[in-house]
Amino acid sequence: MKRLFILAFTALFALSACETGTSGPRTGPDGKPLPKVYRISNANKAKIQYRMLDSVNALRQAAGLRPLQLNAQLNAAAATHSRDMSVQNRPWHFGSDGSSPLLRVQRTGYPGTFLGEDISETYETELETLAAWMEEKGTRDVILDPNATDMGFSWYQEPNGKIWWTLVTGGTRA
């Protein structure tokens, strides 16, 4: 009886060490890891714009450029466009009312000159999105524009986790 108990205990102990399911990242049919949904929490919302600003300014400093500052009017233009892209379900620079980035910035009363807009439709974090923008010449040029003094940055996250990011740059008039 004692032997049976020891054998059962040993088998149970050995089985408890076994894993169920798969280990490592889940992969899609192409063998690549499936994207993880980045959920923006209420606690994180206030930090996102400053994380992006700090990251953009680090890149600008490395390029020998002056830092940008967040601008409330450019933030408003970015927020409006992020929500509108979600409504349209497509990442592009024109609003559902036909507005251009220049017109959206003018509508906010921004006193400077509109310089550029970067947009993205993704499930990635703001810093992963910035890294992707830096890989493309056109979007990198918006971030590293030597005439830029101000930045607006905002997003809209859908219930399914998809995020529509918008970054807008402007320069104050001399």
Q: What value does the mean pLDDT take over residues 73-90?
A: 92
Structure confidence at residue 137 (pLDDT): 98
C-alpha 124, offset from chain centre:
5
Q: What is the DSSP letter of 173?
A: -
**Burial class of residue 134, CB neighbours in 10 A (0-12, 13-18, 19+):** middle
By DSSP bridging, strand 163-171 and strand 113-122 are antiparallel
> Alpha-carbon distance 84 to 62, whole Å?
33
Model confidence over 52-68: pLDDT tens digits? Answer: 999 999 999 999 999 99
Residue 29: pLDDT band (50, 70, 90) is confident
> Alpha-carbon distance 152 to 156, whole Å?
14
In this predicted structure, the answer to whether residue 8 has a pLDDT above a threshold of 90 is no
